[in-house]
Amino acid sequence: MAWTKYQLFLAGLMLVTGSINTLSAKWADNFMAPGCGGSKEHSFQHPFLQAVGMFLGEFSCLAAFFLLRCRAARHPDASMDPQQPFNPLLFLPPALCDMTGTSIMYVALNMTSASSFQMLRGAVIIFTGLFSVAFLGRRLALSQWLGILATIAGLVVVGLADLLSKHDDQHKLSEVITGDLLIIMAQIIVSIQMVLEEKFVYRHNVHPLRAVGTEGLFGFVILSLLLVPMYYIPAGSFSGNPRGTLEDVLDAFCQVGRQPLIALALLGNISSIAFFNFAGISVTKELSATTRMVLDSLRTIVIWALSLVLGWEAFHPLQILGFLILLMGTALYNGLHRPLLSRLARGRPPAEEGEHERLLGGSRTPINDAS
């Protein structure tokens, strides 16, 4: 079936905004600017402030939800399911997981390359599969176990590529290894978030934009309040600000004032996550969850290619092998091999029953897939 212009627009919007989200965060990290009190020039390493910006972008999805609801009220034929009453605090546990996982990933992005960051996020398949068996009582198919094994192999190859790549003064080998491990650690937390959403949230008829916006609201408020104690907590080598604390918001604002392009990068990060979530949800509804997974894989290629063109990282052939193995693992886990086998065996197009709006049973993306 040929895609409509609207479906093509949604696919393009998801690909572009998803790429902008990661690239803008990395772009901000590459800027050098003096901070407050006449401090020397240093890179913009403020991961927790960037995470607050991301949650602000997610929070804006609530505005999109209420606009759609107003439209549905004026036009009864508008496609919007009636909303059941629910307790917003249901979103607090997954929001806390999202806040923790996202903050860790932004810290890791300061330490490693954008392409490795994007590829290593594929580890979420491993932990989501294991947690769904342990806590949701699911039984994984053989192809899903093979997908998990392929993903583990792909992660090893990508990690090996990082070990063998040339490292500059900004990204030393020890920092790259730490960053890669932090990304994988963050995927454990993201997997817990997905299991919590499946177990407690998805049994309620909550519109995805409302779910994203509500989790964004919790994350924005809580993490904004935590920025105050972070200003005083020493962080040692993990700190990227002159004071050596976990986060220094004043230093960040001073750097933005002295280098306005940082503000542009932050704005790109905030706005792109809002449009990316909207496009991702719409792609799942209009096309399929598998299409969303394929577009997310294409996003990795775009981020990787642009990082090479911009000179942010050096090319290593092992990354190609690692990416292909990760792609195979993701395809096996999400059942992308079944349509091909069905076509070969029966010579006719396979049914797509149950492909729309799959979460833990098929395409595994959290309700607010972030960076």
Q: Where does the pLDDT of residue 4 fall: very low under 50, low under 70, confident under 90, or very high at 90 and above? A: confident
Q: What is the mean pLDDT of residues 253-264?
A: 93
% of the chain at pLDDT higher than 90: 39
pLDDT at 139 over 80: yes
Mean of per-residue pLDDT scores for the chain: 83
pLDDT band at 82 (very low <50, low <70, confident <90, very high): low
pLDDT tens for each residue of 152-197 = 999 999 989 888 876 655 567 888 889 999 999 999 999 998 888 8
Say whether pLDDT at 290 is over 70: no
pLDDT value of position 2: 67
Higher pLDDT, 177 or 1: 177
Query: What CA–CA distance (Å, rounded) separates 209 from 59?
Result: 9
Determine the pLDDT at residue 363. 42
pLDDT of residue 340: 66
CA-to-CA separations, 272 to 45, 54, 85, 265, in angstroms, rounded: 20, 9, 30, 10
d(CA 98, CA 181) in angstroms, rounded, equals 18
Of the candidates 93, 5, 109, 12, the residue with the CA atom closest to the CA atom of residue 54: 109
DSSP of 178-237, one letter per residue? Answer: HHHHHHHHHHHHHHHHHHHIIIIITTS---HHHHHHHHHHHHHHHHHHHHHHHTTSB-GG
- Residue-level pLDDT at 157: 93
| pLDDT tens track for 83-133 | 667 788 888 999 999 999 999 999 999 888 888 898 999 898 899 889 988
Is the confidence at residue 230, as pLDDT, over 60? yes
pLDDT band at 364 (very low <50, low <70, confident <90, very high): very low
pLDDT of residue 358: 41
Q: Which amino acid is at 240?
A: G
Closest to 6 in 3D by CA, of 282, 306, 352: 282
pLDDT at 106: 93
The pLDDT assigned to 147 comes to 92
pLDDT of 274 reads 85
| pLDDT for position 202 | 66
142-152 tens-digit pLDDT: 999 999 999 99
* Lowest pLDDT segment from 156-160, 237-241, 363-367: 363-367
Token reading at 360: 């833990």
Residue 66: the pLDDT is 87
Q: Is the dihedral of CA 220, 269, 117, 256 positive or negative?
A: negative
Give 326's Cβ-side CA count (13 Å radius): 29
Please report the pLDDT score of residue 310 as a whole number: 87
Q: Mean of the pLDDT values across residues 219-248?
A: 91
What confidence tier does 135 reach under pLDDT thresholds 50, 70, 90?
confident
Q: Collect all residues with Cβ–Cβ distance below 8 Å to 67 and sequence separation of at least 6.
A: none
The pLDDT value recorded for residue 344 is: 67
Determine the pLDDT at residue 70: 85
Least reliable range by pLDDT among 62-76, 256-270, 320-334: 62-76
> Would you state the pLDDT for residue 351?
46
pLDDT of residue 165: 77
Residue 354: predicted pLDDT: 43
Q: Where are the domains of the chain?
A: 5-37+44-73+85-341
| Cα-only R_g, the chain | 21
Mean of the pLDDT values across residues 307-313? 86
Q: Pick the range with the lowest mean pLDDT from 30-39, 266-275, 283-292.
A: 283-292
